[in-house]
């Protein structure tokens, strides 16, 4: 998934909710020292020295943020940090904020990555027992429409594309729908970019667990490969995993359009996603 310039709560609403949440967590600080991160799809993030405050963009996002935070707090100890909550969620004038422990690190540069570190990240996630966290997981492909994702792609997304690329889009979507069902494992759902923080060549932390679900681990392989490159994930999976991951990866360009439509995002955002998909599909640069 990629960013599409999401709209946000008003600055005053963000500050009020973040301040109240930080005070409740005993982490009050001077707002002039805060850093505002607005690139997320569902939340604005306020960073302080040792805390990160997720401020939901909508009531739906607030519900999902609470669920995802319960998941994060229920995860077992992992080889990297996850953003555990520092206090219960706070709501101010209808705006929900959650204070998390801030994880320090930087996103890895795209196009490369230590195969051993990438493999370790994938293995740590997919071997987490599902039983204890199942109530807090999202539905598979919820961001694309859940069980009706295939229908939604054909009905709502593909008709928005240029006629010249619709057949290619259908081919990719149908190939994804035809993938065999495999035993589910914990999948993060978006292991790319700023969601994975690195320090000194190792994974320091993993953020944004909103899409985590019990599904095909090839979803995470596809995300990792799209960011780090296929060579970096070759040691992380067998041939069947990689085959499914490649089928998933070529639908990434269509997924943000479905997400924007489901979330009722502004028309300009949908249009940006469509333009990007048209440009990418027009090249027919399919990774096989």
* 202-252: pLDDT as tens digits: 999 999 999 999 999 999 999 999 999 999 999 889 999 999 999 999 999
Residues above pLDDT 70, as percent of the chain: 94
The mean pLDDT value for 30-43 works out to 84
Q: What is the CATH number of the domain that holds 38?
A: 3.30.200.20
Q: Band of the pLDDT at 28, cuts 50, 70, 90?
A: confident
Question: Is the same domain home to 142 and 222?
Answer: yes
- Asked whether the predicted pLDDT for residue 121 surpasses 70, the reply is yes
Question: Is the same domain home to 234 and 120?
Answer: yes
* Strand 43-47 relative to strand 35-37, pairing: antiparallel
Residue 14 dihedral angles phi and psi, to the nearest 5°: -65, -50
Residue 91, domain extent: 11-103
Domain count across the chain: 2
Average pLDDT, the chain: 92
**Token couple for 43:** 């939340």
The mean pLDDT value for 180-205 works out to 96
Ordered alpha helix ranges (H), the chain:
11-24, 59-74, 115-126, 149-152, 163-177, 218-228, 230-233, 239-249, 255-262, 267-283
Q: Greater confidence, 41 or 227?
A: 227
CA 107 to the chain's CA centroid = 14
Q: What's the pLDDT at 155?
A: 98
Question: Is the same domain home to 258 and 134?
Answer: yes
- Asked whether the predicted pLDDT for residue 63 surpasses 80, the reply is yes
Question: Is the same domain home to 76 and 143?
Answer: no
In whole angstroms, what is the distance from residue 38 CA to residue 46 CA?
Answer: 9
In whole angstroms, what is the distance from residue 272 CA to residue 99 CA?
Answer: 32
Q: What's the pLDDT at 5?
A: 45
| Residue 143 and residue 256 in contact, taking contact as beta carbons nearer than 8 Å | no
First vs last Cα of the chain: how many Å apart?
19
Q: What's the pLDDT at 6?
A: 47
Question: Is the same domain home to 114 and 79?
Answer: no
Asked if residue 2 is part of any domain, the answer here is no
Asked if residue 6 is part of any domain, the answer here is no
Asked if residue 1 is part of any domain, the answer here is no
Question: Is the same domain home to 34 and 112?
Answer: no
Q: What's the pLDDT at 287?
A: 41
Question: Is the same domain home to 190 and 268?
Answer: yes
């Amino acid at each position: 998934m990629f960013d599409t310039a999401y709209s946000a709560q008003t600055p005053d609403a963000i500050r009020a909710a973040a301040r109240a949440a930080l005070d409740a967590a005993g982490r009050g600080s001077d707002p002039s020292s805060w850093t505002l991160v607005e690139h997320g799809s569902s939340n604005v993030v306020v960073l302080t020295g040792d805390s990160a405050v997720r401020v939901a963009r909508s009531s739906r996002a607030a519900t999902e943020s609470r669920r995802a935070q319960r998941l994060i707090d229920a995860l077992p100890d992992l080889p990297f940090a996850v953003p555990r909550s520092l206090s219960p969620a706070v709501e101010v004038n209808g705006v929900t904020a959650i204070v998390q422990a801030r994880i320090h690190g930087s996103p890895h540069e795209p196009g490369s990555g230590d195969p051993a570190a990438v493999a370790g990240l994938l293995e740590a996630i997919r071997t987490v027992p599902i039983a204890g966290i199942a109530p807090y997981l999202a539905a598979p492909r919820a961001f694309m429409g859940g069980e009706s994702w295939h229908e939604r792609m054909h009905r709502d997304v593909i008709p928005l594309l240029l006629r010249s690329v619709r057949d290619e889009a259908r081919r990719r979507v149908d190939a994804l729908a035809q993938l065999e069902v495999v035993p589910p494992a914990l999948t993060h759902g978006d292991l790319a970019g700023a969601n994975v923080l690195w320090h000194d060549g190792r994974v320091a932390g993993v953020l944004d667990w909103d899409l985590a679900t019990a599904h095909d681990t090839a979803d995470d392989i596809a995300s990792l490969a799209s960011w780090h490159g296929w060579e970096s994930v070759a040691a992380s999976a067998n041939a069947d995993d990689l085959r499914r991951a490649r089928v998933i990866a070529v639908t990434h360009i269509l997924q943000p359009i479905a997400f924007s439509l489901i979330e009722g995002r502004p028309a300009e955002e949908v249009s940006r996603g469509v333009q990007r998909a048209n440009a990418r599909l027009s090249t027919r640069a399919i990774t096989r």
